Amino acid sequence: MRRRTLRSFYPEVVGTLAEMFTFESMRFEKHVFICTNERAPGGRPSCGEACGMELVKLFKKAIKDRGLKGRMRAQRAGCLDACEHGPSVVVYPEGVFYGGVKPEHVDEIVEQHLIQDRPVERLIIDFSKDTPSDD
């Protein structure tokens, strides 16, 4: 399964950015964005309707409960353009996109990815199988 990361699309840009911005210049070691976008009925699926805000609360609580607040941050985001895989979450600086995230996955993502630096492979979205959207 291929991961969709900024590095995979623009390796030369990421190399340049890495030289410009070291981890010391980043505000957070890990930054989690949870899609909470809601669309009108009848269109593409939307993560917000499928527990987006609940996921935001759970990620924030998990980070706070582990004493990681200030080092790591979770926040709501608009559309991450991974609607068909939603609810979707992306973790930076790696740019790892997770799909089909459920409340019961939050602790696993926090423990394994945020703390141990090992992405949860089974939840990573395989964008190579997608077709471009019209949205």
Q: pTM here? A: 0.77
Tell me which H or E stretch contains 58: helix 52-65
pLDDT band, residue 1 (cuts 50/70/90): very low
Beta carbons within 10 angstroms of residue 72's beta carbon: 20
Q: What is the pLDDT of residues 52-75, one digit of tens each?
A: 899 999 999 999 999 999 999 999
Q: Spell out the domain ranges in the chain.
A: 61-127
Q: Poorest-confidence range of 63-77, 106-120, 121-135?
A: 121-135
| Stretch 76-105: mean pLDDT | 92
In this structure, which topology does domain 61-127 adopt according to CATH?
Answer: Glutaredoxin (3.40.30)
* Token pair of 23 as six digits: 């981890």
| Stretch 7-31: mean pLDDT | 61
Alpha carbon distance 6, 74 (integer Å): 20
